[in-house]
Each structure stands twice: as C-alpha cells, then as structure tokens.
Structure 1
Amino acid sequence: MTTSRPTLASWYARPAARAWTGAPAPDAARAFHASLPGYSPTPLTELPPLAAELGVGRVFVKDESARLGLPAFKALGASWAVHRVLAERGEGAPPVRLVTATDGNHGRAVARMARLFGQRARVFVPDGVHPDAVAAIVAEGAEVTAVAGSYDAAVEVAARAADAPDAVLVQDSSWDGYEEIPRWIVAGYATLFAEVDEQLAALGAPLPDLVTVPVGVGSLAQAAVTHYRSRGAAGPAPALLAVEPEAAACVLASLHRGERVSVTTGTTAMAGLNCGTPSALAWPVLHAGLDAAVAITDAASAAAARTLAGLGVSSGPCGAATLAGARAALTGDDAADRRTALAVGPAATVVLLSTEGAAANPQGTASS
C-alpha cells in the first residue's frame, strides 16, 4: 500500500465547518433523472476490509462506474443542465450547439445528452487527454477540438466559442457572469447524495460520520456541502474531506489562503482533477462548509485503485483518490490530530465517492 502522509502544506482542517448551514438544493432533478432511459441508483458497497484498515466501524463506496450508461457520475449534472437549457429555450426553438471543455467524462456526458435530446455538441479537450477518451466523445456524435494547454485554457477557448448565437456553454466551473448553468449542474449532482441517504437507511447503517469527495473545480464538493450542511438536513452533519492531486490542489491552496486562488497545474494521472482554479460558484460554499482537504500523490491514487479492484469495485485514479485521501487522513502514527479534527472514531461510518470506473480513465484521463 502506498499512502501519502500529509504535510502542513498538503493538509487543511477547520472543524468549525460542521456548524455552518446553508440553503438546501432544489429537488426537481431527482424525478427528472428517474425518468431518463437506463436510470437506476448506482451501488453503495460496504467493504469491511477497508473499515479494518482505516480503523473505523463501517466503510461504504458509492460506485459511479455505470451511471446512465456512462462510466462516471458526470451524467447527473450534464443531463439536468441540458434539460434546463432546452426548457428555457422553449418548445419549437431551433437546435443549439452545446459547447464545453473537458478532461474526459464531463465532455462525454454533455455529448451524450446532446445526442439524446436531438442537439449538437462541440467539446474542447486540453493537452494530456488520452486518445481513447477523445474517441469516446467522438462516438457520441460530438465535434472535438484539441487545445494546446491546460484544462483552464480549454475552458477559456470553449467560453469564446459559445459566444455564437446558436451555441450555449455547458461548463461545470463558473466565474463572474456565468453562474446559472453551473448551478444547474451542481443541482443535478444532488441525486447522488439522496441515493446515498436512502441506501444507507436500507442497509440499516447510520448517517455517515465522514464523506470523502474528489475535487477538480469543486462542483461535486459543493453539492456535498449543500446536501450535508443544508438547513433541515437529517441527523448530525458529517465531516467532509476534499481530496486533490498534489499537482493541482487549487481548493487546498485557496483554503490555506482564505481566498480563491489559481495554481499552476502539473501532470497527474488524476487528469480529471487537474484543474487550476476553483469554481467561483463553489468557492464560498467550500470555504464555509468543508472540514478538511488533503493533497495526494499519483502513486497513492494508483494503490487505492488496485485495492478497490481487489475488492470488486472498478475505480479510476480520480475515483480512487477518495480512498487514498482517507488513508492519508486516518492512518499512520501521526494521524491522531487529523482524526480528531474530523471527529472520526473507531465506530465511525465513512462514505467514499468513487466517481468513475477504471474504463472511464484510460491511463489517467478522467472526470472533469
């Protein structure tokens, strides 16, 4: 097993976040998702060997390796956002080109929804996206354009391309003046957390004490904070741990600074998390409601993926990052302070979000 041991620079904790509350997410997306062809809740799998390793009572993995016919959770946000875009345009509106930038799964999800709803898609991909991931997007009927540069650069190019009158940008990151569609994407992710609540109850398990979330621009983590910190949420609030690659820990850097900052990204097998700037929409929610954040190495993520595969869960580097982050936070001779900050004791229930299957991630291309 390869485990990242957090340093002061790669670890952040603020236990007071559990006291923060915000407005709940809209709940209309859940019924919409249930109406889509092929919808069913993804598995929540209990893995006792991980509970023993992490020194907790129970560990569950939310397995997003098959979501609405795609190998990652991204279809939840993309489908709801595209549905809302088309509803806003009204019946009888001419077809629209849906434009996005991606490291893999988000672009494929937008392309799939464009095809499902009779629209067109144009997807911009940055350097480092594996040819198999590009081919999967092309197979959905999208036009794919390569961008020389980082994910952030691809987002800038996509935003310019969406200025055309017959185009709409469907991006999960946000900035000043571009908030509505990212907000719909985050609302779509709420279905995942509603499923977790129902599945834990059906298994006779308590609400989680710790939920571990992989972070790129922070939209999924925003959905997690919104769900678990909302006014009227059932039960005590769990600790929420964000996990990022060391090569692109923009949320961790922002938390340390106390303001939203950009970082220069490097190369990482967790390519879907290789994002240099937190979403402007997500940042205030993450700043207020995240208990902790940790940055991990590619080796730690790869080791976690092997562990999950051995336990029957298909997970790519981005999905397996949550196990690597939990290992970094909860194990080792120096883990006592981190466990205290997360309020994780030997009877705790932990939920790890495995956001993609191994097939989604050829040689590291994944989830943004």
Structure 2
Amino acid sequence: MSDNASFPHGPRWFAQPGTARTWRCASAPRQVRDFHAALTGYSPTPLTELPSLATELRIGRVFVKDESCRLGLPAFKALGASWAVHRALAERAANGERRGRVTLVTATDGNHGRAVARMAHLLGQGAHVFVPRGVHRQAVAAIAAERAEVTEVPGNYDDAVRLAAEAAAGPDAVLVQDTAWPGYERIPGWIVEGYSTLCAEIDEQLAAAGVAEGPDLVSIPVGVGSLAQAVVTHYRSRPSGHAPALLSVEPDAAACVLRSLVLGRPVTVETGETTMAGLNCGTPSSIAWPYLRGGLDAAVAVRDADSARAAGDLAALGVASGPCGAASLAGLRAALSGPDAGERRTALGLGPSSVAVLLSTEGTAANPRTVTDE
C-alpha cells in the first residue's frame, strides 16, 4: 500500500504484493461466444485507440472498449443477462419444471435490470426489478419501458438485493442477480461467463491493431466485482504467456473491493451518494472475491469529479461514456499521477511502450448510438 490518503472507507490505493500475474484459474466455457454471435443484433463493440491519452499517461498505446451500444442496450450487461437467462430457462425445462410464463426478478442500479427486463420481454417472460435509492429517474423509466414491474426501494443496493431474493422465492419466479452469496452462486456464475465475450473480442481487436500478445494493463470499473471476475478469469486462465496487470476502479463512496483487499477478507462498507450509480455497491460478490483477491494487481478509488472529467474528455475524443464507464480512465489517471506515481507505475509494470485497455462499460443518455428510451 503506497498511499496513506484517507476517505470514509480507508485508503484510495492498494497494490497486491506481486503475485497476481502468476495466479491461475479455469477458463470460461467456449460456447458463450457462439451463443452471443447467434443472437439477433450481435456485433463486437468498438475498441477505439486514443493516442492523446497515451501521450498524457506516458505509455505506448491506449484503447477504449466502447460498450455504449451492446445488443441494442447502452451497456455491457446484456452479455451476462442473456447467457444467464438462457441457461436458467433451459435448466428449468430440462428439470421438467412447470412450463409457461415465469417472472425474472433482479435488483439493479440500472443497466443490469434493464438487460434482464429486455431478455424477459424478448422471451415472453415477466420481469420484476428492484431499484435502490439514488438511481437516476431516467434509468428507472428505461427499465419500466422494457415492460418490467419496477419496485423502488428506499434503502441501498444491498437492501434491494435482499428484497428481490425474497420476491423470487415462489415456483414461478427466477432470481437473476449479478451478485452472489453463499447458497446463491450458480446464476451469478453464468452472468460472469456471459461477460467473457467482451474479453474475447478485445483479443481479436488488439491482434488486428498489431498487438498480438495482448494488453499490458486492463482498467476495470467495479461494483460487486462480476465484470472484474470475468476479466481475471480470461487473463489468468492462460497457462503461460503474457499476463497483463489488472486494475479495479471504484467510487470512493462505495469502495468495497478495495477495502476488502486492504483487510484481506470480503467486507461490507456503508455506501454513500455517487454519480457512478452502477458501481454503488457495498459488498463484493462471494464468487468474485477469490478471483479479485488472487488475480487483481491493484485497486483504486476515484471521486465523482474525476469520473466526470474523464467522461468529458472521452466525449471530446468521440467516445460516449457514462460516469461508470469513464471510471476506468479516472482510475488509471489516479494511479499514474501524484507523488507516488512512479511506485504505482512500477507496481503495474507500465513503461513507455505499454498498451492499456480501458473498459468503458456504459454509454450516456445523449449518446445517439443508444436506444431512444435510455
């Protein structure tokens, strides 16, 4: 740990002791990519190179994975929701459970709930989405526009998850939650598998751009850690070869993963208000935690102002990114600036020829590439 600056939940930066790039796990199923490729409207999202950011950060090349339009929705979440719903409904059919309409239930800070609602509508199922306080009214309206029943919860994200789990207890309901806890881990695991398509696309796109061995760093916005788990799985399941540094980025108002890494065990933090609503989560997913602890090189927390600046800079460069998506740039900037920048650069293994990939996980309401009700 190299930064003693404090915020309500502890230090803003944490680096692992150098073992993350040698940590190994099993890979995601190969059939996930084939499933997504067969969906109507599927195409790889752009990987955009931004040379001016490489100059600013004093590294070789910077690419942004632009998830502002994924399967007709303005975020990457459709990848996980589609695969998990497919697997869950197929399992019900295989088990001979009662056929007919079921209700897909979830809690969300915005994009995951909308993705589940969209899948439910496309498959002729119902959807019930629980939304915690602080989610923008436009995001709530977008979920309702997918023909979902929406219940607004006066509490935080963890409260919404608890109420969604209670509502899904009946035989005609299925909880499709992107966070896991003991006793509820299979469907969240399928959601994580769904995100592997994003990583496979990055490999192909970097190769086409002349980066055959892959990135030297990936910066990942983190809520409960499911996307980060998918990224760790992708890069730490290779038996040998180049292993990039993996950096998690959270709001300083909800840095549950950073705090857990500092303490060496998963903990719940009391969340505050943040414009990065989709990352406003107080508890790491139980299935994500072993991957985060083993495979992340470092974690950083950023302020809303940092994310807003990053979103504005990305927009000026032609990438429409919401506050959560822009956190990846804000986090890398925070890591590579300030009095400890040299130490952090060394911890991440970055030099003047390094290649970084920033995951911009969502678009904006003003983005013309998103659907009209976002």
TM category, shorter: over 0.9
Secondary structure of 2:151's partner? strand
Q: For the residues of structure 1 that align with 2:168 and 2:300, how far apart are their CA atoms? A: 34
Q: Are the structure 2 counterparts of residues 6 and 142 from structure 1 closer, same or farther at C-alpha, using a change threshold of 3 Å?
A: farther
Q: For the residues of structure 2 that align with 1:332 and 1:196, how far apart are their CA atoms? A: 30
Determine the structure 2 residue equivalent to 1:140.
146
Q: For the residues of structure 2 that align with 1:221 and 1:172, how far apart are their CA atoms? A: 12
Find out whether 1:10 has 2:16 as its counterpart: no
Determine the structure 2 residue equivalent to 1:36.
39
Find out whether 1:210 has 2:217 as its counterpart: yes
Determine the structure 2 residue equivalent to 1:49.
52
Q: For the residues of structure 1 that align with 2:361 and 2:238, how far apart are their CA atoms? A: 26
For 2:342, give the aligned amino acid: A
Of 244, 247, 253, the match for 1:241? 247
Alignment of 1:301-312 (within 5 A): 301-312=307-318
Deviation at 1:333, TM superposition (A): 4.2
Deviation at 1:128, TM superposition (A): 1.1
Measured against aligned partners, the alpha-carbon deviations of 1:20-65 in whole angstroms (never above 9, x if no partner) come to 0111111211111011111000000000000000000000000000
Of 164, 188, 195, the match for 1:189? 195
Q: Are the structure 2 counterparts of residues 88 and 242 from structure 1 closer, same or farther at C-alpha, using a change threshold of 3 Å?
A: same
Find out whether 1:75 has 2:78 as its counterpart: yes
Alignment of 1:255-270 (within 5 A): 255-270=261-276
Determine the structure 1 residue equivalent to 2:231.
224
Q: For the residues of structure 1 that align with 2:73 and 2:325, how far apart are their CA atoms? A: 14
Determine the structure 2 residue equivalent to 1:88.
91
Determine the structure 2 residue equivalent to 1:366.
none
CA contact (8 A) 1:133 1:360 kept: no
Measured against aligned partners, the alpha-carbon deviations of 1:162-208 in whole angstroms (never above 9, x if no partner) come to 00110010000000000000000000000000000000001112410
Structure 1 residue runs without a partner (length 5+): 362-368
Of 328, 331, 348, the match for 1:325? 331
Secondary structure of 2:74's partner? coil
Q: For the residues of structure 2 that align with 1:179 and 1:218, how far apart are their CA atoms? A: 14
Q: For the residues of structure 1 that align with 2:340 and 2:187, how far apart are their CA atoms? A: 42
Q: For the residues of structure 2 that align with 1:349 and 1:29, how far apart are their CA atoms? A: 27
CA contact (8 A) 2:57 2:336 kept: yes
Measured against aligned partners, the alpha-carbon deviations of 1:272-331 in whole angstroms (never above 9, x if no partner) come to 000000000000110011000000000000000000000000000000000000001113
Determine the structure 1 residue equivalent to 2:357.
351
For 1:110, give the aligned amino acid: V
CA contact (8 A) 2:223 2:284 kept: yes
Deviation at 1:159, TM superposition (A): 0.3
Measured against aligned partners, the alpha-carbon deviations of 1:318-366 in whole angstroms (never above 9, x if no partner) come to 00000000001113343000000000011000000000001289xxxxx
Q: For the residues of structure 1 that align with 2:92 and 2:138, how far apart are their CA atoms? A: 34
Find out whether 1:290 has 2:292 as its counterpart: no
Alignment: residue pair count: 356
Q: For the residues of structure 1 that align with 2:5 and 2:282, how far apart are their CA atoms? A: 20
CA contact (8 A) 2:24 2:239 kept: no
Secondary structure of 1:141's partner? coil
Question: Whose RCO is larger (CA < 8 A, sep 6+)?
Answer: 1
For 2:34, give the aligned amino acid: A
Measured against aligned partners, the alpha-carbon deviations of 1:237-266 in whole angstroms (never above 9, x if no partner) come to 100000000000000000000000000000
CA contact (8 A) 2:109 2:132 kept: yes
Q: For the residues of structure 2 that align with 1:94 and 1:140, how far apart are their CA atoms? A: 20
Of 21, 24, 32, the match for 1:21? 24
TM-score (norm 2): 0.93
Of 105, 119, 123, the match for 1:117? 123
TM-score (norm 1): 0.94
Of 53, 61, 84, the match for 1:58? 61
For 1:252, give the aligned amino acid: L
Percent sequence identity over aligned pairs = 70
CA contact (8 A) 1:6 1:329 kept: no
Secondary structure of 1:241's partner? strand
Q: For the residues of structure 2 that align with 1:20 and 1:197, how far apart are their CA atoms? A: 20
Structure 2 residue runs without a partner (length 5+): 368-374
Between 174-183 and 24-33, the greater mean CA deviation after superposition: 24-33
Between 29-38 and 187-196, the greater mean CA deviation after superposition: 29-38
Deviation at 1:231, TM superposition (A): 3.5
CA contact (8 A) 2:32 2:194 kept: yes
Q: For the residues of structure 2 that align with 1:193 and 1:7, how far apart are their CA atoms? A: 33
Of 175, 178, 191, the match for 1:172? 178
Secondary structure of 1:213's partner? strand
Deviation at 1:232, TM superposition (A): 3.4
CA contact (8 A) 2:225 2:284 kept: yes
Determine the structure 2 residue equivalent to 1:365.
none
Between 103-112 and 24-33, the greater mean CA deviation after superposition: 24-33
Deviation at 1:130, TM superposition (A): 1.4
